[in-house]
Every structure is written in structure tokens, then in C-alpha cells.
Structure 1
Amino acid sequence: MEQLLEKVRLLHIQNDFKNNGGEDKYFRMALLMEELGEICDALTKQKPNFKEEHADLLILLLGNCVAYDIDIIKLTSEKLDRLLKMKARTDGNGHSRLITELEEKE
């Protein structure tokens, strides 16, 4: 993950995203929504770029971490530690998902 973050940092420096609007939060959120839409489009239309679109989304997410000084490795590790303590629940359609603390109280 460190190597990927470093490449994304270089991409931001090379293109001067900090000074040309490329790190604007609203612009970046629009890009994230666009990429997620492209993943959905590739899935529903069975396009061959389905896997590559995931890389595009990850690059944007890591770019947010670079732009906003987010320690994604630490935060992801902490989040996974919490998730590993949760139990999965299967819904009526046979899909499993983790139960959050709030859902347990319901």
C-alpha cells in the first residue's frame, strides 16, 4: 500500500493538483461518483473494463488520502480490527453483511 500511495503522491506533484484545483474536495467527490458509476456500468453491461475501473476508484481514494493528509493504512487497520470482531448477518436475499453496534441494539 505504501508503494501505491507514493505513486499517487508523485502523480499529484507531477500534475500540481494542489495548486490547480485537482485537490478540491467537491471536484474529487464528483470524480469518485463518476468512477463508481463506471464500475456499475461495466458490471451491468458486462464490459471488459470492470476490473480496471476498480483501479481508477482506488487511485482516486488514495489521492484523497494524499490531498487531505489521511493516514489510510493506520485507519484501515483500525477499522479492520473492529470489523473482525463483528458478526455477519444474512438478509432475506441470502446476502451476508456485518452487523454494526447500532444495528445490534435494534
Structure 2
Amino acid sequence: MRPVKILSVCGSGTVSSAMLSSKLADVLEEKGYDLEATEVAPGGVAVAVQSGGYDLIAYTSPVEDIYGIPVLNATGFLVGINEEEFVEELLDVVGKLAL
């Protein structure tokens, strides 16, 4: 089974997106999935999506929903608000992937 490829997006493409990637990895590994994450700022999303073959985008800084892949708002998940709802949505998306 291949890893789930997630593009993590935050304002600068460094700290928050790296923290988000770590939390996503923990959740996915607990459910038996591996994660391949890339962290970018919103300005780098279009180029990353064109070249990366990502399964979904998880963001803490808004991105447009025009990339043809699921886009999940992960702000609450990162700060501990409505985590269960986000995890449910994440696992729903991942469960539909051909891994």
C-alpha cells in the first residue's frame, strides 16, 4: 500500500504546516496508513499540486478549492478544536483513495 500524500499548507510553509503534518501522521499511523507530507505556503500550492500527485490538501491558511483534490480546513485540528470532526472527515477522504 502506498502512503497517503498530503500537502500541508500554512502561512509561511514551515512551522504550523510541519506541526500539522506531524499530527496527521499520528492519526493516520494509528489507523494503519503511512503519510508522505509536504509543507508549503499558500503561494506554493499550485506548483506543488501540479507536480506532486497529492491526495488532499490540509490547510491552516486558506487556499482555493480549485485543484481537483479534497481540501480540508485543519486549523481546529491543529489547535485542538473539533478534532474528532476533522479526523472523521480526513478518514472518510482517505478511505476512498486507491492506495
User: Which TM class, normalised by the smaller chain length?
Assistant: under 0.3
- State which structure, 1 or 2, has the greater radius of gyration over its C-alpha atoms: 1
Q: Which has a greater percent of strand?
A: 2
Larger RCO: 1 or 2 (CA < 8 Å, sep 6+): 2
When normalised by structure 1's length, the TM-score is 0.25
When normalised by structure 2's length, the TM-score is 0.27
Q: Which has a greater percent of helix?
A: 1
